[in-house]
Structure 1
């Protein structure tokens, strides 16, 4: 499968485009963060994670149970280093950027979980991300069954039944529906969820240039999806890219449903009007 040449500097993101599974989630998260921070140096974040993994490894060798190991991970990250969530984190794009989460100590569930996974795996702990409904978590499988860490809530550790019950209260879904979502998430699934979070925030806050960059990545990952192409066209208008918007809208009109045609035609007229001001 050919790789989108716009992202050739983003080696891990290119692996996703090629549908590879050997993706370093911290590095690909930093590649997303670099869209908003062009001079971002990955080394500072990677070194911080390596130090935390070494710190954790030195403490868990004497522990006997997996639950004790998880508690030590939480003590290290939430306790000693103060990683946590708060409600205002959802209103700040930086709470999705791994480097800023480490610098500020504050993140949203998925970004905090990615730090937990990276530190844990660096210390030899098989922790994985879980794209649960409403709230991203991490999971470890033990002989006592799976345990989950809610990194957003100061690293709260939940057993399987408690996790199901808690997500039921959040989502209103049945336990059967929730169970299917508690398996380890694939890298592609994690990155798409991160991008969708950023897209929703940028659109709500009318940060159109940032929304454009995020939507370009979403379309690259879903290059045949009509809704992603349509959204890129609509964002292009807001981001002062009328020429691109015209091209995209003309393509969308070839494939759209009848119910979408009036809206797309109206947006096409807007894009053409804006383009005429440039000529």
Structure 2
């Protein structure tokens, strides 16, 4: 595989068992494709410094809610981190270096900053892939409290998550158990890349959309919808041989897909080239 150096480092990082993947490093390798001269150590050091400063102001009692209160005060009151409500779909919100520099981002990248600092003060937290809004929670058995890093570290319970879903989708939504399940490190990174994928697609930047899809497929090589999307992007970019290969692969694995008729029609058109 002929990858850029940033892509190579990303690939090497995610080849490890999931629990050993360094999320901050992997996220910075994602950003490094946008910023080739990005210095990873500068931003890893920034996270270390933030954690040291939080450590100095932690309460004697390490009860989780008190730790969350200390983290919130430091990140949101002292440093001024905030959710980027006004320009949510700015790609910079998905790059960890930009989030640290600008102190604003989207739910998943602010959650990443929060997680990384919490981990460094020996307060491990995990990601929660709530549809449409990423949350985190303490990695403590039977502790069903959730933190919304996008909204100043708001502490939420399952009932609040239900209400948030109803607000977002503007209709009653059942809170299924899987909505509050923890995500793996690979799933975390794939969700970050999926955000970038749709941001770039909305901007009609097909090359960068393709780059996001390619990295999702490094994480999950058998993600058939991503293989289909890569094929469609190849087609739009004029790479017809690669497009045909991906689309044939998609149909062979999902012959009864809802879009099978459209994909077969496209393959027939490609066969004329």
What is the TM-score with the length of structure 1 in the denominator? 0.83
Partner of 1:264: 263
Contact 2:18/2:184 (CA < 8 Å) preserved in 1?
no
Change (3 A) 1:204 1:159: same
Partner of 2:15: 14
Matching residue within 193, 198, 202 for 2:191? 193
State the superposition RMSD in angstroms.
2.7
Structure 1: 4+ residue segments shifted above 6 A: none
Q: CA deviation at 1:24?
A: 1.1
Partner of 1:158: 156
**Is 1:82 the equivalent of 2:74?**
no
Matching residue within 99, 109, 113 for 2:97? 99
Matching residue within 26, 43, 46 for 1:45? 43
Contact 1:49/1:118 (CA < 8 Å) preserved in 2?
yes
- Aligned residue-pair number: 266
Where does the alignment leave 5 or more consecutive residues of structure 1 unmatched? none
Secondary structure of the corresponding residue to residue 118 of structure 1: helix
Residues in 2 aligned to 1:9 and 1:261: alpha-carbon distance in whole angstroms: 36
Q: Which moved more, 1:43-52 or 1:25-34?
A: 25-34
**Is 1:173 the equivalent of 2:173?**
yes
Q: CA deviation at 1:66?
A: 2.4
Q: Which moved more, 1:253-262 or 1:87-96?
A: 253-262
Where does the alignment leave 5 or more consecutive residues of structure 2 unmatched? none
Change (3 A) 1:186 1:142: closer
Q: CA deviation at 1:252?
A: 4.2
Q: Which moved more, 1:88-97 or 1:70-79?
A: 88-97
Q: Which moved more, 1:95-104 or 1:127-136?
A: 127-136
Residues in 2 aligned to 1:54 and 1:65: alpha-carbon distance in whole angstroms: 19
Q: CA deviation at 1:240?
A: 4.2
Q: Which moved more, 1:254-263 or 1:82-91?
A: 254-263
What is the TM-score with the length of structure 2 in the denominator? 0.85
Q: Which moved more, 1:56-65 or 1:258-267?
A: 258-267
